[in-house]
Amino acid sequence: MANTSKEAVVKNAEKLVEMMMKGNDASHDSAHAFRVRDLALSLAREEHISNPFSLLIVELAALLHDIGDYKYLKDPSEEKIVENFLANEGVDILMSSTILAIIIKGMGFKEEINGVTNGSNSREFGVVQDADRLDAIGAIGIARCFTFGGSRNRVLHDPNIQPRLDLSKDQYMKKEEQTTVNHFHEKLLKLKDLMKTKAGKKRAEKRHKFMEEFLQEFYEEWAGKA
C-alpha cells in the first residue's frame, strides 16, 4: 500500500462503514460489519491463515462487505464506493481485486440459491462468507431477522402462508408474501450446510440448533400449546 499503513487503512475502513451504514436498521448496521470482521479474523486463525497480506484481505472484505447492499442502495453510484475507497487508500491491485471479488462476486445467499457457488474459491473468501452467515444465524441471527422484518412492516407469522422452499434468485430478492418466520425456512436454516470452512461448520452447528429450538417453542406458543 503506497504511503498508507495497514492500521490507517483499517481505521479509515471503519470510519467509512460507520458513515455508510449509519441510516440502516440494526440488522445491517455498522455493529454487524464489526462483528463479521471479528468473526472472520477468528475463523482465519482457526483455519491457520496467518499471512499478513491474507489477514488484511479478510479484515477489509469483512468490514466493507455490506456497503452497496441492494437492500439499502439509495443511489447506483454507491456500488463503486468500496472500489473507489480501496483505490484512494493506495491498496495495491492484487489485494483490491481480491477484496472486490469476495464482496461482489458471490458473497450473498442469493448467489447460491440454486446450489451454485459463483464466488471466489479462496480461503479468504471462505472465512469472510462464513463469518457473515454465522452472524445471520443463532441468537444474533434471530434478533437480526425480526429487526429486519419489523423495519419492513413484514407480517410476523401467518400459518396460511407457506415458506417458499424452491426459490429463484429473482423471487428471493423480491421477497413477495414473505413472513418473518418463513425467512428461517427460506434462508437461515439452509446456511449451516453452505459453510465453506471447517471452523465455520463447527460454529454453525450450535447456532443452527439454537434456531431450531427457538422455532419449536415459537410454534407451540403461537398455537397456545406452551
pLDDT of residue 120: 58
What are 104's three cell numbers?
461482489
Whether the predicted pLDDT of 216 surpasses 90: yes
Distance CA 148, CA 161 (A): 19
pLDDT of residue 113: 60
Percent of the chain with pLDDT over 90: 76
The dihedral formed by the CA atoms of 90, 92, 95 and 101, expressed in degrees to the nearest 10: 80
pLDDT tens-digit profile of 11-39? 999 999 999 999 899 999 999 999 999 99
| Nearest residue to 79 via CA among 109, 102, 106, 103 | 103
Within 10 angstroms of residue 159's Cβ, the number of other Cβ atoms is: 10
In Å, what is the CA distance from 87 to each residue of 2, 6, 82, 99?
Answer: 10, 14, 9, 12
pLDDT of residue 74: 72
In Å, what is the CA distance from 106 to each residue of 3, 103, 199?
Answer: 31, 7, 20
pLDDT of residue 114: 56
What are 193's three cell numbers?
450446510
pLDDT averaged over every residue in the chain: 90
Residue with the three cell numbers 471466489: 120
Mean pLDDT of 39-47: 98
Within 10 angstroms of residue 141's Cβ, the number of other Cβ atoms is: 23
pLDDT tens-digit profile of 94-138? 999 999 999 886 677 666 665 555 445 789 999 999 999 999 999
Residue with the three cell numbers 468490514: 63
Phi, psi of 138, rounded to the nearest 5 degrees: 75, -160
Homologous superfamily (CATH) for 6-142+192-222? Hypothetical protein af1432 (1.10.3210.10)
What is the CB-side half-sphere exposure of residue 150 using CA atoms within 13 A? 11
Distance CA 194, CA 200 (A): 10
Kindly report the pTM of this predicted structure.
Answer: 0.91
Distance CA 61, CA 24 (A): 19
pLDDT of residue 110: 60
pLDDT of residue 224: 97
pLDDT tens-digit profile of 150-205? 999 999 999 999 998 777 666 666 656 689 999 999 999 999 999 999 999 999 99
